[in-house]
Structure 1
Amino acid sequence: MSGETAPVASSPIAGKRAPTSSLYDLIENWLPKIVIAPTFVACLVFVYGYILWTAILSMTPSRMLPTYSFVGFEQYTSLFDNDRWWLALKNLVIFGLLFVIICLVVGLLLAILLDQRIRLEGFIRSIYLYPMALSFIVTGTAWKWVLNPGLGIEKVVRDIGFSDFTFDWLVNPDRAIYTVVIAGVWQSSGFVMALFLAGLRGIDDSIIKAARVDGASMPRIYWRIILPSLRPVFFSCFMILAHIAIKSFDLVVALTGGGPGFSSDVPATFMYTHAFTRNQIGLGAASAMMMLMIIVTVVVPMIWSETRRTSNG
């Protein structure tokens, strides 16, 4: 009949997805995995693979070259019978605690100062951040000159007229580790300041204004409102600083060389000395594994505590 529409013949590929669409989906699914795969494999081999290899070496009598005869925990026994290892651990505790605490305090105070919108804020911030652009080798070398009794602070003060002034920490076995603290704080406190300043600038001003309207003083506002709000920043700074302290090899080598004698040794320099200069690879590997255990002991409980607190939020 006129006016009726003729039925349209169905196509044999109707209802089927085009081959190009299937290929596109396949590429879309696999391309990210292919791109990430080399990095994943490299990380697996060169990080976790070498950690496993170091653990194996720590249970062998390896000296100049690796050997694979199993001796159990003999290297760890020798390690903990070594007085130099215990001194390195003591220095790590001294350096780590002072370095982390002073950096946190100095960085927080600098951030609070700059948060007052003072003049030349950008210039001052750049000055405090500049040391972070240097490597620890450069920092250690510079402070070695500054603290050298014959070249630096002691000589300058004596030349001024104070002939009895002494500042010989760099060559004093009982004070050498504190020079490492000075250099480390000088380099890292500006970075901590930048993190705290970003945290302070992220706090809602209306909360502070409301507290001031209620009659709260600024010290009380900082103590009860602002500092608790900076808890994630404190956590991040602590994690970064603790990591720097535990692996502080380059700063110690450049500044004191582990001396005088081995009075400023830390576990990282102990490991390097025994593994690469004294041909005691097994003992060096054991000290490296103990450094890993120190990191795990410090970092994992803090991450777990922070994660639990966030989830309970």
Structure 2
Amino acid sequence: MDTNNQNAVKGVGDWFRWHLSKFVVAPSFLMILFFVYGFILWTGYMSFTKSKMLPIYNFEGILQYVKLWKQPTWLASFENLFVFGSLFIAVAIAFGCILAIFLDQKIRGEGALRTIYLYPMAISFIVTGTAWKWILNPGSGIEKLVQSFGFENFEFDWLVDPDYAVYTLVIAAVWQASGFVMALFLAALRGVDGEIIKAAQLDGASISRIYMVIILPTLRPVFLSSFVILTHMAIKSFDLVVALTGGGPGNASWLPANFMFEMTFRRNQIGQGAASAMIMLATVLAIIVPYLYSELREKKHG
């Protein structure tokens, strides 16, 4: 009998050890399931209602989406997103790649330079926006500094110019994200087989040609990963806009996230805000889902 009890206790102990990881993960999994995916579903349903200050659960179809695409401010914010996102992604990838190639030459002080380039990514977008707001302020920033050197006709007032305000977002965002892109490319460059480079050098190929023709084409996955990450950052950009331009002048630098916040929390239009949030989610999914599909397909056939 004692032996049976010992076996039973041992069996329970083995079962508990086998399922311990599930018990540890379960609370986090349930919280994510409820607070993330549950609220995504709730927001999606709200986008099909006439909810304003308080939720209304009567289904009204695509009314909010029709109204949304008739809103001039929403169209302007989407246009700003296209300009901001295109420039931000292109410049950050190009600049990050150039920095990675520069550091890949085993230069002196590489560790310090790598830290300097990476440091902006450790700062929140609020801090980045505030710092660049000081730098680009016509009354106390770059414009004032250059004018103090005697160039009194110099102007750099993009921050207060409706036609150029969105480009100040690009400057600040590239400054923050390019170091992260550099780290991705540098890690990939360090994984390139050195024998290939030596063989190309023996054939008389220059360093620039080696990178352009041999190395960079092999970094396609890094380019794709950088594109996906930066696209996600661009679409959800909110705090940078608030800290740097406040969406102004007027709504010249509004992005969809700022429109969603304005409609939901200031104008008490829950249905309209939910519709804009779902459009943003659909845009992110349109980028991420094909990427994940291609990655899983490569692993399956690799």
Asked if residue 31 in structure 1 is aligned to residue 20 in structure 2, the reply is yes
Identity among equivalent positions (%) equals: 58
2:33 and 2:164 map into 1 onto residues whose CA distance is 41
The counterpart of 1:177, out of the listed 157, 166, 171, is: 166
Residue by residue, what CA displacement relative to the aligned partner does 1:194-244 show, whole Å, maximum 9, x if unpaired? 111111112121121122223333223212321122222222222211111
1:219 equivalent in structure 2 = 208
Shift of the alpha carbon at 1:17? 8.8
2:69 and 2:224 map into 1 onto residues whose CA distance is 32
Cα root mean square deviation, aligned: 1.9
List runs of 5+ in structure 1 lacking aligned partners.
Answer: 1-10
The counterpart of 1:167, out of the listed 150, 156, 169, is: 156
1:225 and 1:20 map into 2 onto residues whose CA distance is 62
2:180 equivalent in structure 1 = 191
2:220 equivalent in structure 1 = 231
1:78 and 1:13 map into 2 onto residues whose CA distance is 74
Asked if residue 71 in structure 1 is aligned to residue 60 in structure 2, the reply is yes
The counterpart of 1:115, out of the listed 95, 104, 112, is: 104
2:255 equivalent in structure 1 = 266
**Partner of 1:18: helix, strand, or coil?**
helix
Residue by residue, what CA displacement relative to the aligned partner does 1:255-282 show, whole Å, maximum 9, x if unpaired? 0111100111110000000000011111
1:283 and 1:12, CA in 2 relative to 1: closer, same or farther beyond 3 A? closer
**Partner of 2:152: helix, strand, or coil?**
coil
**Aligned AA for 1:46?**
F
Asked if residue 242 in structure 1 is aligned to residue 261 in structure 2, the reply is no
The counterpart of 2:87, out of the listed 82, 95, 98, is: 98
The counterpart of 1:154, out of the listed 130, 136, 143, is: 143
1:62 equivalent in structure 2 = 51
1:294 equivalent in structure 2 = 283
**Partner of 2:40: helix, strand, or coil?**
helix
| TM-score of the pair, normalised by structure 1 | 0.92
Moved more, 43-52 or 302-311: 302-311
The counterpart of 2:123, out of the listed 119, 134, 156, is: 134
Moved more, 23-32 or 126-135: 23-32
Q: Which has the larger radius of gyration?
A: 1
**Aligned AA for 1:60?**
T
List runs of 5+ in structure 2 lacking aligned partners.
Answer: none
1:307 equivalent in structure 2 = 296
1:281 and 1:256, CA in 2 relative to 1: closer, same or farther beyond 3 A? same
1:33 and 1:306 map into 2 onto residues whose CA distance is 27
